[in-house]
Amino acid sequence: MHPLLERQINRCLGGADGLPVGWKDFFAAVGDAYAQGDADRRMVERSLDEMSHELTERNRDLRRELEARRVTETALLAEKAEQTALIRKLEEAHNQLLQSEKLASIGQLAAGVAHEINNPIGFVNSNLGTLAEYVDSLLTVLTAYETECSHCVSQEIHQRIDAVRAAVEIDYLRKDIGLLLVESREGLARVKRIVQDLKDFSRVDAGEWEWADLHRGLDSTLNVVNNEIKYKADLVKEYGRLPQVECLASQLNQVFMNLVVNAAHAIAERGTITIRTGTLDEDRVWIEIADTGSGIAPENLKRIFDPFFTTKPVGQGTGLGLSLSYGIVRKHGGHLEVKSEPGVGTAFKVILPVRAARDLASAQ
């Protein structure tokens, strides 16, 4: 029995000796009930403690498991991001490689065509020289005949000869045939120069570093892309004094071509493309290609060298020209600068070391 209850009963009834018959048993039963209740309560408390401890451990395990899963998920997301970035870089490299191979193939084809054209140009030019000599000889003979026949033939024969001379316009032919031969030889010389420029532009020895005249490379490139320029812009050359530069000449020609063609495309109607050259110091040279075109929006200026970025309509640009040009200039140990103002124009400046940065070039 609970001690407090037992004391109250004893006080009311006068102690344990004054209890009625049977009450002791009742009190004993109540005491047993209290004891059993205490035992049950302690068992329940122990069970609750054990359950609380077990739940605490389980919660701790769950938190550790959740943290492990969060770490794993974070690692997987980071790995996925790295893989996505790597895939994009591989795709960019693949497309740039395809573009470079395409340019190399075009260069080889152009060099082959130029070589094939050069052969007939050579013998046609030689034949024209011989033909000019033959024509001079024939005209000399004709003049001799005219001089001698004026003294030894009848008036009737003179009249027939004069009629033939008038019909064929012999005096005009004498004057014009020489001009035709001169113009033909000038035309052949121009074709020969264009073919030579095409060969210089599309040289297949792209892997060979050499000392090159950049002005010659610029002129060859301008002749090759002349059709892209002549209907859009007036070309101004402001060449300074440049030393020969150790470079991959054909690759720099591709840079010049991309910049000049882009300048022409930036001009809506008629404008001016200015090419300037000079030296920064004894170790560095620069080439600037400026246009009076539409300019580049400020928000696009930081992205123009990114692969596949283009502001041209779909189907008119791959977005690789400036990216490839940037890579080629970097390969030479130089850098490419751009200044642009919308509505005024754009200027690209290529800065190159005179002597190739071999370590950087081999690392590309």
* Better pLDDT: 169 or 31: 169
pLDDT at residue 362 in the model: 45
CATH class of 209-364: alpha beta
**Taking a C-beta distance cutoff of 8 angstroms, is the pair 296, 315 a contact?**
no
**Domain range annotation of the chain:** 209-364
Query: Shortest CA distance to 225 belongs to which of 99, 331, 110?
Result: 110
> From the DSSP assignment, how many helices (H) and strands (E) are in the chain?
10, 7
For residue 48, is pLDDT > 60? yes
Query: Tokens 């009450």 appear where?
Result: 23
pLDDT digits (tens, 9 = 90+) for 122-131: 888 888 888 8
pLDDT at residue 240 in the model: 94
pLDDT digits (tens, 9 = 90+) for 171-220: 888 888 888 888 888 888 877 777 776 666 655 455 578 899 999 989 98
In angstroms, the CA 277 to CA 238 distance is 7
Please tell me what DSSP assigns to residue 357. -
pLDDT at residue 18 in the model: 60
Residues 184, 187, 191, CA angle at the centre, nearest 5°?
135
Average pLDDT on 151-158 reads 71
Dihedral of CA atoms 83, 89, 92, 95 in degrees, nearest 10, equals: -70
Find which of 30-39, 117-126, 287-296 is predicted with most confidence, using mean pLDDT: 287-296
In angstroms, the CA 272 to CA 233 distance is 5
**Taking a C-beta distance cutoff of 8 angstroms, is the pair 279, 290 a contact?**
no
Average pLDDT on 125-149 reads 83
pLDDT at residue 314 in the model: 44
What phi and psi, each to the nearest 5 degrees, are found at residue 238?
A: -125, 70
pLDDT at residue 117 in the model: 77
pLDDT at residue 363 in the model: 42
pLDDT at residue 2 in the model: 58
Other C-beta atoms closer than 10 Å to the C-beta of 292 total 19
Mean pLDDT, the chain, as a whole number?
Answer: 80
Average pLDDT on 30-36 reads 78
DSSP H helices in 277-320 = 298-301
* Better pLDDT: 55 or 201: 55
- Quote the pTM value: 0.53
For residue 79, is pLDDT > 60? yes
* Better pLDDT: 233 or 90: 233
Average pLDDT on 5-16 reads 65
From 95-99, 172-176, 250-254, 267-271, the region with the lowest mean pLDDT: 95-99
pLDDT at residue 214 in the model: 93
For the chain, percent of residues with pLDDT exceeding 90: 17
Question: For residue 107, what are the contacts with CB-CB under 8 A and spacing of at least 6?
Answer: 201, 202, 203, 204, 206, 250
**Taking a C-beta distance cutoff of 8 angstroms, is the pair 346, 291 a contact?**
yes
pLDDT at residue 315 in the model: 45
Average pLDDT on 24-43 reads 79
Average pLDDT on 69-91 reads 85
pLDDT digits (tens, 9 = 90+) for 295-349: 888 888 777 777 655 655 544 554 567 888 888 898 889 999 999 988 899 999 9
pLDDT at residue 364 in the model: 46
Query: Tokens 């701790």 appear where?
Result: 60
pLDDT at residue 17 in the model: 61
Query: Shortest CA distance to 203 belongs to which of 258, 253, 259?
Result: 253
Backbone angle region of 98, left / alpha / beta, with phi > 0 → left and psi within -120 to 50 → alpha: alpha
